[in-house]
């Protein structure tokens, strides 16, 4: 077991310390410049699309596809991951979370637009994602297979055990509930949802995600307003510690950057290749519409919800001198401001946040299992394994599993970043086509012949 721990930690140090951070920042920055800051210039239009004009009568609506990806994004990373970042990397790690979200917004736009362009029909819905554009656009079937295996294991099994573990810890802190009972309930609830297909996943996500996000934001705002006089000093502390060059030689600054980027990516998933699997399900008239909508999800996750957790923890001051970390630190932070019911509120929030993530994570695995094989027996085996890992995660100490999650996340992201770096020009051509039609007063409609690249020959759906 020690060998496995050491190997996973060494691999994470190599990937996160040298490879992935450079790739995330450089590719995201390149996409930002190449798209003329697409993730910032079109935010009002993103809200307009999310509000209804991007939704179609058939299949999965743009809003429901957004909710599936947001359900996966908004989970332990927002409540537990942010607290872990502050406890281990200090307030400066929050700045790097913000930065990776802003830069990563461009990567999210590219990967989600590509997922729409290369989606395939799946009964009355659609499926797609990195495995599909790796296969069809790059003609690298082996690359798609590798990605499918990684995401099915990472999201369906490893990440879902992390989510259920966080739920059981929160309920133990708030209600002293037995972890085994929590695990059984979560496993049964997961089975009910995932055996209902993508429509049930979409309907569940569209119901739960908006309600839980609004409630959590409102409570966080009350705490922030209560301590509004502390906000300027907290901002100053975040910026100062983010660029604390006095700690460079001791490795402190590097650790702060690494933790902020790692926890930021775990939360918003920009560039990782997960959200495109949900983006591909939307029934829309132009791929860029869903690219815009999914980009908004990155900001919703990190700039809004993660910031709510960060400010609650920082204004409370409980992170200083406390041995608590993760979800229990967030619970202590809110309880210090509103009383014991804060523990209960966070436990309920993490139940909704993390369980919706379990459902969203499951779907990412499902669509990639279908890429690997049409034989339904493998999909049923995958579903049983997901249910088992939800139960297992609730009753087990998951230090190793958190590290495995980081490792699989890094491997997935590297594969996807290589693919979207090679295919980015297709997304930018689609963007120019969309903006040109919009400028003419049209509701943009995608025709694959408008793409000049040879990659258009393998586009299936948009015939």
* φ, ψ at 441 (rounded to 5°): 85, 10
pLDDT at 335 over 90: no
Task: Return the pLDDT at 184.
Answer: 93
The two three-digit tokens of residue 228, written as one number: 């509004």
How high is the mean pLDDT of the chain? 81
pLDDT at 76 over 70: no
Percent of the chain past pLDDT 70, that is, above it, reads 80
Q: Is the dihedral of CA 417, 423, 429, 430 positive or negative?
A: negative
pLDDT at 198 over 70: no
Closest CA to 80 of 164, 205, 179: 164
pLDDT at 187 over 70: yes
Which of the two residues, 327 and 143, has the higher pLDDT score?
A: 143
d(CA 402, CA 344): 24
Helix or strand run (H / E) with residue 127? strand 125-127
Task: Return the pLDDT at 254.
Answer: 54
The two three-digit tokens of residue 186, written as one number: 């979560």
Confidence label for 250 from pLDDT (cuts 50, 70 and 90): very low
Lowest-confidence region among 10-24, 128-142, 221-235: 10-24
pLDDT tens by residue, 275-330: 898 888 888 889 999 999 888 888 888 888 888 888 888 888 777 766 666 677 77
Percent of the chain past pLDDT 90, that is, above it, reads 22
Mean pLDDT of 179-204: 80
Which residues make beta-bridge pairs with 60? 282
Confidence label for 382 from pLDDT (cuts 50, 70 and 90): very high
Q: 3-class DSSP state for residue 60?
A: strand
Which residues make beta-bridge pairs with 122? 125
pLDDT at 434 over 60: yes
Confidence label for 387 from pLDDT (cuts 50, 70 and 90): very high
Decide if 354 contacts 76 (C-beta within 8 A). Answer: yes
Confidence label for 248 from pLDDT (cuts 50, 70 and 90): very low
Task: Return the pLDDT at 249.
Answer: 38
d(CA 313, CA 350): 16
Helix or strand run (H / E) with residue 299? none
The two three-digit tokens of residue 163, written as one number: 């989510």
Closest CA to 330 of 348, 351, 312: 312
Task: Return the pLDDT at 91.
Answer: 83
Q: Which CATH architecture has domain 13-458?
A: Up-down Bundle (1.20)
pLDDT tens by residue, 357-377: 888 888 888 889 988 988 889
Mean pLDDT of 381-393: 92
pLDDT at 86 over 50: yes
Mean pLDDT of 194-200: 69
pLDDT at 251 over 50: no
How many beta carbons lie within 10 A of that of residue 375, not counting itself? Answer: 11
Task: Return the pLDDT at 90.
Answer: 80
d(CA 395, CA 406): 21
Task: Return the pLDDT at 132.
Answer: 93
């Amino acid at each position: 077991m020690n060998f496995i721990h050491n190997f996973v930690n060494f691999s994470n140090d190599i990937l996160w310390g040298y490879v992935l951070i450079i790739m995330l920042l450089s590719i995201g920055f390149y996409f930002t410049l190449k798209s003329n800051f697409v993730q910032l210039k079109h935010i009002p239009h993103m809200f307009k699309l999310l509000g209804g004009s991007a939704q179609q009568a058939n299949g999965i609506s743009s809003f429901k596809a957004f909710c599936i990806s947001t359900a996966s994004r908004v989970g332990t990373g927002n409540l537990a991951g942010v607290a872990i970042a502050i406890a281990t990397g200090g307030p400066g790690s929050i700045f790097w979370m913000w930065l990776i979200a802003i830069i990563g917004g461009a990567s999210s736009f590219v990967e989600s637009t590509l997922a729409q362009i290369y989606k395939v029909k799946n009964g009355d819905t659609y499926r797609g994602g990195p495995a599909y554009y790796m296969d069809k656009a790059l003609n690298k079937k082996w690359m798609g297979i590798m990605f499918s295996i990684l995401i099915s294991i990472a999201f369906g099994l490893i990440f879902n055990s992390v989510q259920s573990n966080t739920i059981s810890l929160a309920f133990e802190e708030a209600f002293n509930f037995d972890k085994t009972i929590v695990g059984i309930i979560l496993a049964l609830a997961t089975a009910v949802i995932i055996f209902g297909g993508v429509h049930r996943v979409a309907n569940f996500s569209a119901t739960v995600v908006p309600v839980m996000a609004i409630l959590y934001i409102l409570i966080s705002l009350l705490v922030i307003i209560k301590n509004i006089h502390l906000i300027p000093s907290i901002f100053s502390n975040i910026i100062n510690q983010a660029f604390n060059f006095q700690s460079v030689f001791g490795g402190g600054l590097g650790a702060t950057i690494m933790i902020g980027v790692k926890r930021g990516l775990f939360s918003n998933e920009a560039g990782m290749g997960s959200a495109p699997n949900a983006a591909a399900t939307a029934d829309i008239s132009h791929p860029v519409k869903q690219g815009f909508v999914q980009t908004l999800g990155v900001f919703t996750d990190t700039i809004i919800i993660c910031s709510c957790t960060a400010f609650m923890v920082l204004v409370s001051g409980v992170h200083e001198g406390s041995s608590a970390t993760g979800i229990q630190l967030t619970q202590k932070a809110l309880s210090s401001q509103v009383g014991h019911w804060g523990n209960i509120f966070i436990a309920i929030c993490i139940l909704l946040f993390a369980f919706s993530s379990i459902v969203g994570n499951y779907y990412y695995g499902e669509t990639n299992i279908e890429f690997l094989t049409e034989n339904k027996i493998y999909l049923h085996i995958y579903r049983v394994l997901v249910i088992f890992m939800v139960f297992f995660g609730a009753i087990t100490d998951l230090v190793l599993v958190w590290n495995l999650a980081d490792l699989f996340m890094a491997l997935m992201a590297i594969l996807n970043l290589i693919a979207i770096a090679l295919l980015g020009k297709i997304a930018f051509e689609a963007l120019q086509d969309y903006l040109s039609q919009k400028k003419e007063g049209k509701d943009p409609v995608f025709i694959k012949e408008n793409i000049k690249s040879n990659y258009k020959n393998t586009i299936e759906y948009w015939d």
